[in-house]
Structure 1
Amino acid sequence: MCGFAAMHGLYGADRSPSAAHMLSFKPILAGANLSDRMIAAVGALVGIALTAALCTAFLPHGPALLLVAPMGASAVLVFAVPASPLAQPWPVIGGNMLSALVGIAVARVIPQPALAAGVAIGAAIALMSLTRSLHPPGGAASLLAVLGGHAVQAQGWGFALVPVAANAVVLALTGVLFHRLSGHSYPHRPVPAAGHAPPVLGVPHPEDIDRALEDLGETFDVSRDDLDLLFRTVAAHASRRG
């Protein structure tokens, strides 16, 4: 009911229930607009093309590919949601590299592919969480290390460095340069917009945000600092309106 009521209020009373129900399947990214999505598309194009070109030109050629598939998923995060904690440079680099190392290790001790794949993903999530490098494409990197066949196995431990870590470093650096040109904060830091310094009073304390997150028991793809800035900025606009 709450979801339908929200959709009803958002799209207007003239929408039929079936129309509102269909609209509820539309993906939503808070703050995103068409211009941002087009900039993200250009960024991903540049990021992947540059990563492939540089790694092909400068890395030693071996039996493995010089551009790995997980970089495609990493590019989506880096260029489409650069404010996400999952898209920051350390998760991009560390999450992919550490997960690849996990996959290599698991493949060496568990010969059964299905079991090895499951163990590799679970261990990769645990290691990324412990090292604050949680990055969804890391799961693909660990699977690639387990199921990549002879080309990956021939690389041994070096596969985690070349091409995985090398790809990730080039992609992250490309993201830093691209977002500086496009006006986004990357590596992301929550900074108030010019002329919109939020007030300190009348908004939740950061500890209140921590407790609210604990009460909800969910994981959100946004940092506590960004939530704090969002609440303060909302309070600033509310005070001006009032």
Structure 2
Amino acid sequence: MSSLRRSLADKARHHLFNPILAGATARERALACLGALVGICLAGLISGALAGFDLGLPLIVAPLGASAVLLFAVPSSPLAQPWPIIGGNTISALVGITVAHFVHEPALAIGLAVALAIGAMSLTRSLHPPGGAAALTAVVGGPAVAAAGFSFALVPVLLNSVLLVALGLAFHRLRGRAYPHRPQPAAVNTHGTADPPPLARVGFRPEDVDAALTALDETFDIDRDDVDRLLRQVELEALRRTTGDVPCSAVMSRDVVAVGVEARCGEASALLLAHNLRTLPVLDGAGRLAGAIGLREIAGGADFVRDAMTAAVTAEPGDPVIGLVPALTDGTTRAVVIVENDGSVAGLVTQTDILSLLARTAVLQSPGAGGATA
């Protein structure tokens, strides 16, 4: 019985600390708490100093507490971006004030204010859950709010919202996180043709994501482009798992042909053609990686390698080789240079190496080869 109780207690403890949002960690939540502490305190203090609030209005309106939860705990949410916070709160407050002015039945006014606020935010692409509370506050905020009239939407609501966003922007920049959140742009074909880029030609397509969202018939708090990016990363992680996290050191070429940074482009071209290569690592005087060069760069007309080379795409010997797939299928990268901690070149992984690994994995996993079967 005691072991059963321990098991149940462990499960309850795991459930208690299991994050409700995907990707949330204890560190992220601690930083969110710190951000909310700093953001709300400073927003209230600065608002009070700027406006004085002689009319008896609060330092900060209650909906800003909910805005802080979104801004600091889920900053990548479409609902937590600057325009939804500023526009959603302010527009909703204006809606609430308007409803309070024309509708004098309290029960009807509170419902109408929130409903119209949702509609207004949807039309202005500023949907922000705390906006509903801002509309409600404008209706039931008491004599001070009623006396302030439409100016309540400007001070304190707009002022509070602008200050909170500014503080949130500074906080996220200090911790190295991009805010406002911008989904990664869709990959494009670097060859200037109408074909999708290589990774987008296999697996699911953007229209599949749209069809799935339509079939589920639900609204998710995530940008549609982020859904696409997440699913492609899931595919890559699944591929990495099935290949057993083979390290770059297991497949890389070790006898690497390289060229010095002070060499002439003609020498680099001769090496590329003689060895039938697409990319040469460029080494500095100490033998460390300085860049990469191929026939495309040489065709630019420069005389010396140092003037034609580009930044090399790199990885370390212990990195999973499957993690190089996005780089090697971007349409421009032909090889990834594997470097040691001291900057010296350990090897090279090319598109051919990736193809060989995937082909070998497919053979080993086929039912007739004694691999994994369903």
Q: 1:43 aligns with which of 32, 35, 54?
A: 35
- Which of 53, 58, 63 matches 2:45? 53
Shift in alpha-carbon separation, 1:203–1:160, aligned structure 2, 3 A: farther
Contact 1:100–1:142 (CA under 8 A) maintained in structure 2: yes
The residue number in structure 2 matching 1:3 is none
Paired position in structure 1 for 2:227: 227
Q: CA deviation at 1:201?
A: 4.3
Alignment-mate amino acid for residue 82 of structure 2: P
How far 1:23 moved relative to its partner?
A: 3.8
Amino acid at match of 1:207: E
2:167 to 171, 174, 178: 174
User: Residue type matched to 2:150 in 1?
Assistant: W
TM-fit CA distance, 1:43: 0.3
Matches within 5 A, 1:52-201: 52-63=44-55, 64-191=57-184, 199-201=199-201
Query: Which residue of structure 1 aligns with residue 218 of structure 2?
Result: 218
Q: Which runs of 4+ in 1 moved over 4 A?
A: 24-27
C-alpha displacement of 1:204: 2.2
Counterparts of residues 13-28 of structure 1 (less than 5 Å):
23=15, 28=20
Shift of 1:60: 4.3
Alignment-mate amino acid for residue 226 of structure 2: D
TM-score by length of 2: 0.56
Output the CA distance in 1 between the equivalents of 2:82 and 2:40: 15
Higher relative contact order (CA 8 A, sep 6+): 1
Higher mean C-alpha deviation, range 131-140 or range 205-214: 205-214
Secondary structure of the corresponding residue to residue 134 of structure 1: coil
Secondary structure, in 3 states, of the residue corresponding to 2:40? helix
Once the two structures are TM-superposed, the CA of residue 200 in structure 1 deviates from its matched residue by 3.5
Distance 1:240 1:74 in 2: 38
Which structure 1 segments of 5+ residues have no match?
A: 1-13, 193-197
Structure 2 unaligned spans of 5+: 1-5, 186-197, 244-374
Amino acid aligned to 1:215? A
1:105-145: CA deviation from partner (whole Å, max 9, x where unpaired): 00011111111000000000011111111101001100000
Amino acid at match of 1:49: C
Among 32, 39, 61, the alignment partner of 2:24 is 32
- 1:200 to 1:167, Cα distance in 2 relative to 1, 3 A: same
Question: Partner letter of residue 223 of structure 1?
Answer: D
Contact 2:183-2:223 at 8 Å conserved across structures? no
Percent identity at matched positions? 57
Counterpart residue number, 1:7: none
CA distance in 1: counterparts of 2:54 and 2:118, whole angstroms:
29
Measure how far apart 1:24 and its partner are. 9.1
Say which structure is richer in helix. Answer: 1
Amino acid at match of 2:24: A
Amino acid aligned to 2:216: L
Which has the larger strand fraction? Answer: 2
- CA distance in structure 1 between the aligned counterparts of 2:176 and 2:66, rounded to whole angstroms: 22
TM-score between both structures, scaled by the size of structure 1: 0.85
Query: More deviation in 56-65 or 169-178?
Result: 56-65
